[in-house]
Amino acid sequence: MPRTKTRATHRRRIDHYLEPLLDEDRFSFYRSVADFADREVAPKLLGWERAGGFVPDSLIAQLGELGIFGLPIPEEYGGQGGGLTELVLSGLALGYQSHSVAITPGAAVSLGANPILKSGSEAQKRAHLPDLAAGKRMVVFGLSEPGRGSDAANPEVVAERHGKGWRLRGEKCWSTNAKWASHVIVHALTDPDGRNGHRSTCFIVPMDQPKVHYSEMSGKTVWTLSSTGSIVLDGVDVTEADILGELHEGFKVMVTTLNGGRLFIASLALASLAFALDKVRGYVQERDQFGGPLARFQRVQDVVLELDIALDRNLTWLMTLLERFDRGVLDREQAAKVKIDSSRVASHLLVEAMEICGGVAGLDEFGLARHHNDLFVTRVGEGSNRALMTQVVRPLLPECADLLQ
């Protein structure tokens, strides 16, 4: 029998669109995480932000107890045996309140555990996945560099042959969760003369090696509670057993990793959109101006409706792509497109939402400014939108693909 839906079920407007797209178990899981965020994150978030620092260790432990860190990891490795869909649902649920909170398990799974799950040897899976699934430790993906952002396929970090192994030199930056990481997956150049896409290799490197140096990047005004680190590799020795995937096939590991990561980033953009919709529609019905509620003005109604349409459309699109990703049939262009569009639309409409609400929207306690700032990361994270557009348009212009810049 179909479930009976009531207005009380949909405390967030996004629930109204999400519930028909999910089976009962998945929707119940999403609601349990959303309830957790409303109960454990929302009342404390402003205090954490004003005090400075990071997502509290106690909250990370709670997320581990909920099983968030093990969602797509098979049960044989201590995980929940789900797919990326479950992880994205947690992103929607947690990101509604805070991107910083959502990205902590999100990056730990999509950028840390997932590469090992998809590309690791059996020994590597046994060594890392059980602890990662329990949230006892994290692995960070070292991709971006001071001189390499969107051009991550050609890293400046170099791995040179040294005896029977390799020696790593260089710096990684913008590494999410670096503060809590036990290991870093280093994407390094191993064959400078190799053909495009076959020049690099990924290595799993312990963060406690003496020649690995971590420092937190200061001055950040986005994802303020999230750890974002610089990792310097000062002649770090690694062995063949530390290679993740195949030699000179680091690009393949990277692409596989970023495909899922882009879907998670899209979920954060839509979480912000969902928060803005609820905040604005509540405010404009309560705020009295010019002799009545703001909501009676057509221009105000237009913004509310645009928020709602964008959320409905892009959420349905994202859920469709997640089903394809979990079946292993999603093209990377599709993941890039939903990330590009969701981040751009949400960013544009957040500005509109803030204008409708007026000066109060600039206060940290109102919440919209937080989402406005954090949405910047969704436009540049997991590949800058501008760079991704060139990648996405190539199949549309096959006769000129080699000329596109």
3-state secondary structure 113-162: HHHHHHHCCHHHHHHHHHHHHHCCCEEEEECCECCECCCCCCCCCEEEEE
**Average pLDDT of 160-167?**
95
Smallest CA-to-CA distance from 89 within 349, 340, 263, 346 is with 263
Assess whether 194 and 278 both reside in one domain. Answer: no
Assess whether 29 and 100 both reside in one domain. Answer: yes
Q: Any residues with CB less than 8 A from the CB of 273 and at least 6 apart, and which? A: 307, 310, 311, 314, 342, 345, 346, 349, 350
Assess whether 133 and 145 both reside in one domain. Answer: no
**Is 256 a residue whose pLDDT tops 90?**
no
The pTM of the full predicted model, rounded to 2 decimals, is 0.94
Tally of domains in the chain: 3
Q: Any residues with CB less than 8 A from the CB of 309 and at least 6 apart, and which? A: none
Looking at residue 283, what is its pLDDT?
A: 97
Q: Are 212 and 236 in contact (CB under 8 A)?
A: yes
Assess whether 327 and 208 both reside in one domain. Answer: no
Smallest CA-to-CA distance from 137 within 53, 204, 232 is with 204
In a domain, 53, yes or no: yes
In a domain, 203, yes or no: yes
In a domain, 3, yes or no: no
Smallest CA-to-CA distance from 176 within 259, 86, 91, 106 is with 106
Domain assignment of residue 366, given as a range: 252-396
How much of the chain exceeds pLDDT 70, in percent?
A: 97
Q: Are 84 and 260 in contact (CB under 8 A)?
A: yes
**pLDDT tens profile 119-158:** 999 999 999 999 999 999 999 999 899 988 777 778 999 9
Residue 29: give its domain's CATH number. Answer: 1.10.540.10
Assess whether 89 and 105 both reside in one domain. Answer: yes
123 to each of 42, 119, 129, 253, 333, how far by Cα in Å?
A: 40, 12, 10, 17, 32
Note if 382 is an active site residue.
yes
Which residue among the candidates 171, 333, 382, 399 is catalytic per the annotation? Answer: 382
Domain end (from 85, 119, 137): 137
Looking at residue 10, what is its pLDDT?
A: 56
Q: Any residues with CB less than 8 A from the CB of 88 and at least 6 apart, and which? A: 263, 264, 267, 318, 322
In a domain, 401, yes or no: no
Assess whether 133 and 19 both reside in one domain. Answer: yes
**pLDDT tens profile 343-361:** 999 999 999 999 999 999 9
Assess whether 271 and 331 both reside in one domain. Answer: yes
In a domain, 30, yes or no: yes
Looking at residue 403, what is its pLDDT?
A: 87
Assess whether 303 and 368 both reside in one domain. Answer: yes
Determine phi and psi for 236, rounding to 5 degrees: -85, 125
What is the spatial distance between Cα 377 and Cα 79, in angstroms, rounded to a whole number?
28
**Is 325 a residue whose pLDDT tops 60?**
yes
Residue 384: give its domain's CATH number. Answer: 1.20.140.10
What is the spatial distance between Cα 148 and Cα 94, in angstroms, rounded to a whole number?
30
Q: Any residues with CB less than 8 A from the CB of 349 and at least 6 apart, and which? A: 273, 276, 303, 306, 307, 310
Domain end (from 137, 152, 170): 137
Assess whether 381 and 261 both reside in one domain. Answer: yes
In a domain, 405, yes or no: no
**Is 83 a residue whose pLDDT tops 70?**
yes
**pLDDT tens profile 180-202:** 999 999 999 999 999 888 999 99
Antiparallel, parallel or unpaired: β 165-176 and 158-162:
antiparallel
**pLDDT tens profile 38-51:** 999 999 999 999 99
Assess whether 133 and 144 both reside in one domain. Answer: no
Assess whether 123 and 36 both reside in one domain. Answer: yes
Assess whether 87 and 223 both reside in one domain. Answer: no
In a domain, 18, yes or no: yes
In a domain, 402, yes or no: no
Domain end (from 137, 163, 195): 137
**Is 9 a residue whose pLDDT tops 60?**
no
